C-alpha cells in the first residue's frame, strides 16, 4: 500500500488548490454538523417541553374538561413519539436501554428509557456458541471454566393453525355395531372458530381496541380470509356464551358493601340525530364503572369491576344500577348520586357518601396553575400531607389504617376545614377558589368518612383507573355503533378488566373459559370466576407444547 504523501503532487499550485478544496469541504461538513447539532438541541428542548406539558395534563385527565384534556394529551404524545423516533434515527451512539430500576433520586422524573422486563414464565431458547474441543493456537484440549450469558429479546409471529378433528369410525366384528367418539363441543356450535382464536378476537377488540376490520386485514396476512361479518358473528356468539359468567361477576361485585363509582362519556351512533347532536348521527352516552378493590386494606373479597352503559347522563340510570346497593359509595359530586344518600323511611340511609380528596385537590390545582395563588398552594400542601400518611398505611389492615388516621389525619382534616372557613372570608365569593372551598365544606361529612372507617379510601382513584381503557379505546374506534354495541362493550370490559385486576392474562383466561363453559355444570359456574379460576392441566400442557 502506498503512503499518503507519495500521492501528493509536486506542483505548489496543485497543492494550494487541493488545500482550498479541502477547506471548502471542511467548512461544508462543519456547517452541516452545526445544523444537525442545532436541530438536535431544538428537538431535545421540544421533547422536554412536551414531557412537562403531558405530565401536567395527566394530573388533570379526570378533572374539569377531561375530554378536552385527553385529546390534547393524545396529540402531544403522538408528537413526542415522532420526535423521539427522529432523534433515535440520527443517533449513532450505542443504544442505552437504561437500568432495571430508576434511581431513587430520579423516581419523580419522567424516565426516558427503562430496560425491558421479561416474565420468568416467558419461554427461553438457549443457543450455545462452543469454541470446540481444541485450542486454536496450540491444539491442546479445552476444558469448560465458565460461560458468559446475554439475552436477546425476539418475537415469533402469530400463526394461524387449522386443527383437524378426525373421529375414527370402527365397527364391531361380532355385532357390526358402529363405534365412534362423540364430537367435542365447540365454543360456538357449528362454527370453525376455536377458543384461542375467539379469545384473541375478543381481547384485541375490547382490550387492545383493535376494530374488526383491522383484525380482518391482519388475519389475511396470516393466510386466513375471515370476513368481517363472520368476525362480528363470532364476537356476538362468544359474548352470549360468556353471559352467565358475566352475570355472576356483576352480582358479586354489585353486592359489595363498599363500591367506587365513576363515569365517562362515549360517542354512540344514532340515526335519529342526523341533523343535531355532537355530529351527524352521533349522540353522547355514558359508561359507568363500579369497582370493588379491598387490596389497600387487606380485605378478603377479590377485586373486580362492573361496567354499565347508559344512553344519557340522567340520574335514573344510576338509581337503577345501584337499586340494591347497601353500604358505602365512593364517588365524585355528580348530582345523580344525591338521592342514593337520602334516608329511607324506617331504615336510615342505605348508602353513605365517601368523597374523593383527589377531586377536591384538582380544583385547587387548577386555580393555582392559572393564578399562582398562595392560598391555593397552601391548600395543596395541606391535602398533600394527608396523602403522605396514606402512602405509609396502604395495604395495612383496616384497623391499623383507622388507628393511624385517628392519630395523624384527624387533626389535619379538622384544621383544613377550619382554615377553609377562614379563607372564604378573605376571597371573592364568586371566584373558582371560593367554589372549591365551598365544595369541600358542603361535603365535610363525606370527606371525613375515611377517618372513621379504615376500609374507605382517601380518593376514588380505583374507579378512575377503571375508566382509562375507555379513553384509550376512543383513539381507535371513535364511537360505538349503537346502544346495543356500547352495552356489549361494557359487558366485555367487565369480564376482561376483572380478569386483569385478579392478575390473569385475559386472553388465556377467556380461551380456557370458552373451551370449557358449554360442558361445565351450571351449579359449579363459580369455579370459572376470575378469582376462582384455575386452568385445566391438559390445556396448560397443550399450550406449553
pLDDT in tens, the chain (545 residues): 445 555 777 777 777 888 888 888 888 888 787 777 766 666 666 666 666 566 656 655 444 445 555 566 566 666 656 666 666 666 666 666 655 554 544 444 444 456 778 888 888 889 888 988 898 888 889 898 988 988 888 888 778 889 999 999 999 999 989 999 999 999 999 899 999 999 999 999 999 988 888 999 999 998 899 999 899 899 999 999 999 999 999 999 999 999 999 999 888 876 666 655 555 567 788 999 999 999 999 999 999 999 999 988 899 999 999 999 999 999 988 888 988 998 877 767 789 999 999 999 999 998 998 899 999 999 999 999 999 999 999 999 999 999 999 999 999 999 999 999 999 999 998 899 999 999 999 999 999 999 999 999 999 999 999 998 887 766 555 556 567 778 888 999 999 999 999 999 999 999 999 999 998 888 899 999 999 999 876 543 444 43
- What whole-number distance in Å separates Cα of residue 337 and Cα of residue 263? 12
Grid coordinates representing 163 are 386443527
Residue 105: the pLDDT is: 45
Per DSSP, what are the bridge partners of residue 260? 291, 330
Could you tell me if 308 and 288 are in contact, meaning their C-beta atoms sit under 8 angstroms apart? yes
Residue 52: the pLDDT is: 59
Grid coordinates representing 476 are 381507535
Residue 112: the pLDDT is: 46
CB-based contacts of 476, cutoff 8 Å, min separation 6? 209, 210, 211
Q: How far apart are the first and last CA of the chain?
A: 59
Grid coordinates representing 401 are 389504617
Alpha helices in 207-227 (DSSP H): 212-221
Alpha helices in 268-424 (DSSP H): 315-321, 357-371, 374-393, 398-404, 410-424
Grid coordinates representing 180 are 365412534
Residue 252: the pLDDT is: 96
Residue 113: the pLDDT is: 55
- What whole-number distance in Å separates Cα of residue 190 and Cα of residue 183? 11
Q: Among 306, 304, 308, which Cα is nearest to 504's?
A: 304
466 burial level (CB within 10 Å; 0-12, 13-18, 19+):
buried
Residue 45: the pLDDT is: 62
Residue 422: the pLDDT is: 95
Residue 187: the pLDDT is: 92
Could you tell me if 62 and 331 are in contact, meaning their C-beta atoms sit under 8 angstroms apart? no
Query: Which SS3 state, helix, strand or coil, does residue 265 take?
Result: strand
State the residue for C-alpha cell 365517601: 354
Q: Is the dihedral of CA 249, 252, 255, 259 positive or negative?
A: negative
Helix H, strand E, coil C: the string for 212-270 is HHHHHHHHHHCCCCCCHHHHHHHHHHHHHHHHHHHHHHHHHHHCCCEEEEEEEEEEEEC
CB-based contacts of 458, cutoff 8 Å, min separation 6? 357, 358, 386, 387, 390, 450
- Nearest-5° Cα angle at 508, 507 to 511: 80
Residue 24: the pLDDT is: 83
- What whole-number distance in Å separates Cα of residue 400 and Cα of residue 389? 12
State the residue for C-alpha cell 380470509: 225
Nearest-10 Cα torsion for 59, 65, 67, 68: -90
Grid coordinates representing 469 are 381503557
- What whole-number distance in Å separates Cα of residue 224 and Cα of residue 192? 12
Residue 109: the pLDDT is: 42
State the residue for C-alpha cell 450469558: 149
- Nearest-5° Cα angle at 271, 268 to 274: 100
Could you tell me if 213 and 265 are in contact, meaning their C-beta atoms sit under 8 angstroms apart? no
Could you tell me if 460 and 330 are in contact, meaning their C-beta atoms sit under 8 angstroms apart? yes
Grid coordinates representing 336 are 345523580
Other beta carbons within 10 Å of 405: 24
Could you tell me if 496 and 305 are in contact, meaning their C-beta atoms sit under 8 angstroms apart? no
Query: Which SS3 state, helix, strand or coil, does residue 219 take?
Result: helix
CB-based contacts of 45, cutoff 8 Å, min separation 6? none
Amino acid at each position: 500500500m502506498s503512503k499518503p504523501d507519495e500521492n501528493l503532487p509536486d506542483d505548489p499550485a496543485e497543492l494550494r488548490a487541493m488545500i482550498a478544496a479541502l477547506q471548502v469541504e471542511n467548512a461544508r461538513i462543519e456547517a452541516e454538523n452545526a445544523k444537525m447539532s442545532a436541530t438536535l438541541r431544538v428537538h431535545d428542548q421540544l421533547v422536554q417541553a412536551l414531557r412537562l406539558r403531558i405530565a401536567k395534563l395527566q394530573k388533570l385527565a379526570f378533572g374539569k374538561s377531561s375530554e378536552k384534556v385527553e385529546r390534547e394529551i393524545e396529540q402531544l404524545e403522538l408528537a413526542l413519539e415522532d420526535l423521539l423516533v427522529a432523534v433515535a434515527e440520527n443517533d449513532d451512539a450505542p443504544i442505552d436501554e437504561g437500568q432495571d430500576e430508576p434511581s431513587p433520586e430520579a423516581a419523580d422524573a419522567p424516565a426516558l428509557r427503562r430496560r425491558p422486563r421479561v416474565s420468568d414464565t416467558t419461554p427461553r431458547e438457549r443457543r450455545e456458541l462452543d469454541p470446540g474441543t481444541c485450542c486454536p493456537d496450540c491444539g491442546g484440549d479445552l476444558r469448560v471454566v465458565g460461560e458468559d450469558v446475554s439475552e436477546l429479546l425476539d418475537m415469533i409471529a402469530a400463526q394461524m393453525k387449522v386443527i383437524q378433528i378426525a373421529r375414527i369410525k370402527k365397527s364391531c366384528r361380532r355385532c357390526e355395531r358402529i363405534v365412534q367418539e362423540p364430537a367435542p363441543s365447540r365454543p360456538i356450535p357449528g362454527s370453525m372458530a376455536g377458543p384461542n382464536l375467539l379469545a384473541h378476537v375478543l381481547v384485541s377488540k375490547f382490550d387492545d381496541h383493535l376494530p374488526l376490520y383491522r383484525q380482518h386485514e391482519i388475519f389475511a396476512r396470516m393466510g386466513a380470509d375471515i370476513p368481517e361479518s363472520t368476525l362480528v358473528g363470532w364476537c356476538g356468539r362468544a359474548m352470549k356464551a360468556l353471559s352467565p359468567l358475566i352475570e355472576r361477576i356483576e352480582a358479586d361485585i354489585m353486592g359489595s358493601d363498599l363500591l367506587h363509582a365513576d363515569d365517562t362519556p362515549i360517542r354512540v351512533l344514532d340515526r335519529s340525530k342526523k341533523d343535531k347532536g355532537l355530529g351527524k348521527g352521533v349522540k353522547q352516552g355514558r359508561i359507568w364503572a363500579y369497582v370493588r378493590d379491598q387490596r389497600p386494606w387487606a380485605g378478603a373479597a377479590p377485586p373486580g369491576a362492573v361496567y354499565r352503559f347508559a344512553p344519557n347522563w340522567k340520574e335514573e340510570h344510576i338509581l337503577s344500577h345501584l337499586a340494591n346497593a347497601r353500604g358505602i359509595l365512593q364517588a365524585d359530586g355528580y348530582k345523580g348520586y344525591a338521592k342514593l344518600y337520602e334516608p329511607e323511611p324506617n331504615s336510615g340511609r342505605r348508602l353513605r357518601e365517601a368523597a374523593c380528596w383527589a377531586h377536591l385537590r384538582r380544583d385547587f390545582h387548577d386555580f393555582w396553575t392559572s393564578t399562582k395563588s398562595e392560598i391555593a398552594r397552601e391548600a395543596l400542601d395541606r391535602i398533600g400531607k394527608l396523602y403522605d400518611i396514606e402512602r405509609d398505611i396502604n395495604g395495612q389492615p383496616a384497623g391499623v389504617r383507622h388507628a393511624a388516621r385517628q392519630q395523624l389525619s384527624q387533626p389535619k382534616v379538622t384544621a383544613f376545614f377550619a382554615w377553609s372557613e377562614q379563607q372564604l372570608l378573605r376571597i371573592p365569593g364568586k371566584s373558582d377558589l371560593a367554589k372549591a372551598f365551598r365544595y369541600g365544606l358542603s361535603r365535610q361529612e363525606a370527606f371525613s368518612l375515611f377517618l372513621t372507617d379504615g376500609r374507605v379510601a382517601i380518593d376514588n382513584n380505583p374507579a378512575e383507573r377503571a375508566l382509562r381503557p375507555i379513553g384509550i379505546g376512543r383513539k381507535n374506534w371513535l364511537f360505538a355503533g349503537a346502544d346495543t354495541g356500547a352495552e356489549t362493550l361494557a359487558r366485555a370490559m367487565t369480564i376482561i378488566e376483572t380478569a386483569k385486576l385478579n392478575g390473569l392474562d385475559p386472553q388465556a383466561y377467556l380461551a380456557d373459559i370458552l373451551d370449557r363453559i358449554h360442558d361445565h355444570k351450571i351449579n359449579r359456574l363459580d369455579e370459572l370466576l376470575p378469582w376462582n379460576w384455575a386452568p385445566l392441566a391438559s390445556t396448560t400442557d397443550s399450550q406449553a407444547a
